[in-house]
């Protein structure tokens, strides 16, 4: 008889709410994907390589060299105070940042190792740790700003702590690490063997003129950090499932030991298409324009809900808006989210889904990576 390795885990709330939106016809502000297409140049590049000869067999296991070189060049331009990564030894192309995250955990977490997870957290983190035989140690980020309480993080560390997972800009809150946060993290791991997994898939989406920062830019963290990013988030192409991991050569070698047995290689024509657009954009105009693009959506959505009973929390980055709904209901967040989709035609994600123990802070998450007319139609329903 099969005994489940994750007996307490059911269908993801993101899949559940998207299915509910499809069943009810609700506007889907739940799952984190845009309702608009990737840039035309990227789609044309994919079409070209999908039809061209020479793009239909396995790519090299670490990823196409030209794509890894283009990533390394962009990282060097965006993070001038960090050494440019060696594309051959430090960049690995993965099947989305999800695979990169799983590969890192499988590579470094052994049975009994402890992993610090800051909650609310993306729902993959805890189960992926457990599947390696690791022990998640959860530390809550205090609302409403969801910035780490570093004293609490330090208190959660033990001699068994192997890894600390951080996410900035943060999903679901949009909180962004400050230079002080990076310093605090560096001080915490100093003199230990603790590694850092820095989930930076929303790296380009930092608002209000604040410059984005990465674990790679901190001299004391660079040598012990795996930095993850996602082309799906950057190019509005979540369904393409292409991400990457940047890490020092010794850490990259361990990631690749696992990656080769997870997916081995990522879609060849897709990698060529991404390399095309990166090479054709040496000023990083697309990536640099994302902050203004999404900040305008954030501000528009917040303006549409201003003066209503929705209590909107601050959004320093990312493309999600948290909101308290206590003016409208005393229901738990899961029941409220289901009612909102079924009766009011807007699908959202209850924030308790981001806590391993189902803690309910009375918040729901809206995704504002949508066309303006989608946001306006949703706001009209929400304002009723």
- pTM for this structure? 0.96
Helix (H) or strand (E) holding 365: strand 363-367
Query: Comparing 82 with 229, which gets the higher pLDDT?
Result: 229
Q: How far is CA 99 from CA 1, 228, 313, in A?
A: 29, 10, 31
Q: Residue 113: its pLDDT value, please? A: 98
Share of the chain above pLDDT 90, in %: 92
Q: What does the pLDDT average to over 258-286?
A: 97
In this chain, the answer to whether the domains covering 13-38+285-382 and 40-279 adopt an identical fold is no
| pLDDT tens-digit series, residues 174-210 | 999 999 999 999 999 999 999 999 999 999 999 999 9
Which residue did the predictor score with more confidence, 1 or 329? 329
Computed over every residue of the chain, the mean pLDDT equals: 96
**Domains of the chain, residue spans:** 13-38+285-382, 40-279
The per-residue pLDDT for range 147-184, each reduced to its tens digit, is 999 999 999 999 999 999 999 999 999 999 999 999 99
Matching CATH number, 13-38+285-382, of 3.40.50.1000, 3.40.50.300, 2.60.40.1150, 3.90.1150.10: 3.90.1150.10
Q: Which carries the bigger pLDDT value, residue 162 or residue 384? A: 162
Q: With a cut of 90, say whether residue 31 has pLDDT above it.
A: no
d(CA 303, CA 166): 30
CATH architecture of 40-279: 3-Layer(aba) Sandwich (3.40)
In whole angstroms, give the CA distance from residue 86 to residue 69: 8
Give yes or no for residue 77 having a pLDDT over 90. Answer: yes
Residue-wise pLDDT for 283-304, tens only, equals 999 999 999 999 999 999 999 9
Kindly indicate the confidence band of residue 16, based on its pLDDT and cuts at 50, 70 and 90. confident
Strands 349-350 and 346-347: unpaired
């Amino acid at each position: 008889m099969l005994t489940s390795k994750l007996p307490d885990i059911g269908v993801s709330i993101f899949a559940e709410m998207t299915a509910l939106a499809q069943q009810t016809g609700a506007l889907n502000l739940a799952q984190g994907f845009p309702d608009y297409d990737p840039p035309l140049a990227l789609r044309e590049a994919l079409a070209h390589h999908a039809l061209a000869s020479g793009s239909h067999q396995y790519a090299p296991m670490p990823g196409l060299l030209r794509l890894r070189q283009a990533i390394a060049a962009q990282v060097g331009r965006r993070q001038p105070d960090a050494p440019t990564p060696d594309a051959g030894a430090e960049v690995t192309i993965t099947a989305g940042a999800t695979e990169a995250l799983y590969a890192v955990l499988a590579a470094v977490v052994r049975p009994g190792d402890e992993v610090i997870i800051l909650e609310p957290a993306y729902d993959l983190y805890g189960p992926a740790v457990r599947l390696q035989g690791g022990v998640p140690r959860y530390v809550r980020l205090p609302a409403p700003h969801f910035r780490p309480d570093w004293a609490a993080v330090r208190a959660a560390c033990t001699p068994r702590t192997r890894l600390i997972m951080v996410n900035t800009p943060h999903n679901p809150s949009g909180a962004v690490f400050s230079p002080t946060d990076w310093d605090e993290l560096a001080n915490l791991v100093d003199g230990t063997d603790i590694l850092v997994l820095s989930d930076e898939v929303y790296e380009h989406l930092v608002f209000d003129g604040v410059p984005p920062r990465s674990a790679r830019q901190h001299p004391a963290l660079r040598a012990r950090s795996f930095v993850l990013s996602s082309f799906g988030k950057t190019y509005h192409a979540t369904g393409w499932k292409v991400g990457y991991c940047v890490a020092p050569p010794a850490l990259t070698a361990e990631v690749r030991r696992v990656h080769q047995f997870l997916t081995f290689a990522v879609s060849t024509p897709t990698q060529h298409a991404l390399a095309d657009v990166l090479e054709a954009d040496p000023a990083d105009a697309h990536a640099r324009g994302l902050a203004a693009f999404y900040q305008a959506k954030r501000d528009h959505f917040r303006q549409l809900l201003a003066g209503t009973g929705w209590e909107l929390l601050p959004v320093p980055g990312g493309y999600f808006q948290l909101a308290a709904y206590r003016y409208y209901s005393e229901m738990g967040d899961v029941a409220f989210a289901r009612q909102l989709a079924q009766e009011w035609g807007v699908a959202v994600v209850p924030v308790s889904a981001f806590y391993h123990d189902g803690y309910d802070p009375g918040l729901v998450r809206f995704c504002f990576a949508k066309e303006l007319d989608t946001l306006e139609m949703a706001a009209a329903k929400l304002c009723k």
